[in-house]
Amino acid sequence: MTPLQTSDVPPNILLSTGPNASKCRAWTATLPHSDLGGSECGGASSSRFSAEPQWLGRSSRVQPNAENEPGLPDIAAFEQRLAERGWTDGRNIRIDYRWGVDSTEKTKAAIAELLALNPDVVVTDTSRAVAELQRATQTVPIVFMMIYEPVGQGFVHTLAHPGGNTTGFTIMEATIGAKWLQLLKEMAPTLTRVAYMCNPSNPGPMQAYEAVEVAAHSQAVATVLAPVHTAAEIETAMATLAREPGGALIVPPDGFLLNHVHQIIWLAARDRLPAIYGTSFFATEGGLISYGINGSEQFRQAAEYVDRILRGEKAAELPVQQPTKYELIVNLKTAKALGLEVSPTLLARADEVIE
């Protein structure tokens, strides 16, 4: 392999991600295009790299707004795993971030900016960004995370053989809905009604609602769908649920709901509603219980796919992976505040207990 000169531009990863704790982010990664032999940025062969990443010369970084610095645990996990694979931002890889892409218009603008940088791979964790990226490019590899039903949404042909320029990691399987209800019943055995809060703009979580309905019917638990578009609708839905005893709440993974994490937790405490969340951040912020993927672990897995793509593998040949493990987090402090007694068997199964 021809040694790279110090004037070469390092690999650039564009990471375009969705809301996390009221923040939206976007990034990319780019490799030195002077070494591509005239191929498109997503179509270089593995001969571009030796077994170990080399010094690729100068680097630059597009900084987000000061209030949205990329310092979240998921981002740290992503960059740490890249470093473990030999890629360090500012040394032999360039990572460009975009934050605040919380609308279709902003997403399109961010994608146009990032693709103008000629990235070698783009990473995102929102369906909207995947859809817009696929409209904008058929050559730049796209790695997604935390996506519902990528086959159903038309992002990939099959999980085993994605085809095209897109692959990645899904957020959950539909059967998880039954598990959410089971855990809620263990926490609150007297529950008779459960509301499933959802964002109508994100159809993905509805796959789990079907499993909730089936499980609830077998346990004589009534279910109600609670679609919400605004903070006011969240409060109305939870106040309605709390009017009669025996109510409980399921909050699946969703960017809009995650942006309202503190409101939802506060209302659940005010109305004394047992609630289970599909995102661990809710439990660590004071929610009763969560059961879902480890977000940071999925970012690490995405970094491994980025590494493989930068070394020459094609996104079309990397299978879409589904979660193999879900984490159970119990907030014992919140349970006590709600007057709930957590069984020793449930505590023993928990991956983390917050006291």
Taking the model in full, what pTM does it have? 0.79
Q: Where in the chain do CATH 3.40.50.2300 domains reside?
A: 12-170+297-317, 176-292+325-354
Predicted confidence at residue 13, as pLDDT, reads: 58
Q: Look up residue 81 and give its two tokens.
A: 């795993």
Q: Domain 12-170+297-317 falls in which CATH fold?
A: Rossmann fold (3.40.50)
Q: State pLDDT tens for residues 305-339.
A: 999 999 999 999 999 999 989 999 999 999 999 99
Predicted confidence at residue 11, as pLDDT, reads: 54
Q: State pLDDT tens for residues 257-314.
A: 988 999 999 999 999 999 999 999 999 999 999 999 988 899 999 999 999 999 999 9
- State how far the Cα of 176 lies from the Cα of 192, in Å rounded to an integer: 20
- The pLDDT of residue 210 is above 50: yes
Predicted confidence at residue 12, as pLDDT, reads: 54
Write the DSSP string, 237-272: HHHHHTTSTTEEEEE-S-HHHHHTHHHHHHHHHHTT
Q: Domain 176-292+325-354 falls in which CATH fold?
A: Rossmann fold (3.40.50)
Expressed in angstroms, the distance from the first to the final Cα of the chain is 55
Q: What is the mean pLDDT of residues 95-114?
A: 84
Predicted confidence at residue 345, as pLDDT, reads: 95
Q: State pLDDT tens for residues 332-342.
A: 999 999 999 99
Predicted confidence at residue 260, as pLDDT, reads: 93
- State how far the Cα of 221 lies from the Cα of 263, in Å rounded to an integer: 26
CA distances from 53 to 229, 255, 300, 309, 311 (A): 46, 35, 18, 13, 9
Q: Look up residue 284 and give its two tokens.
A: 């660590």
- Compute the radius of gyration of the chain from its Cα atoms: 22
- The pLDDT of residue 31 is above 90: no
Beta bridge partners of 143: 123, 167
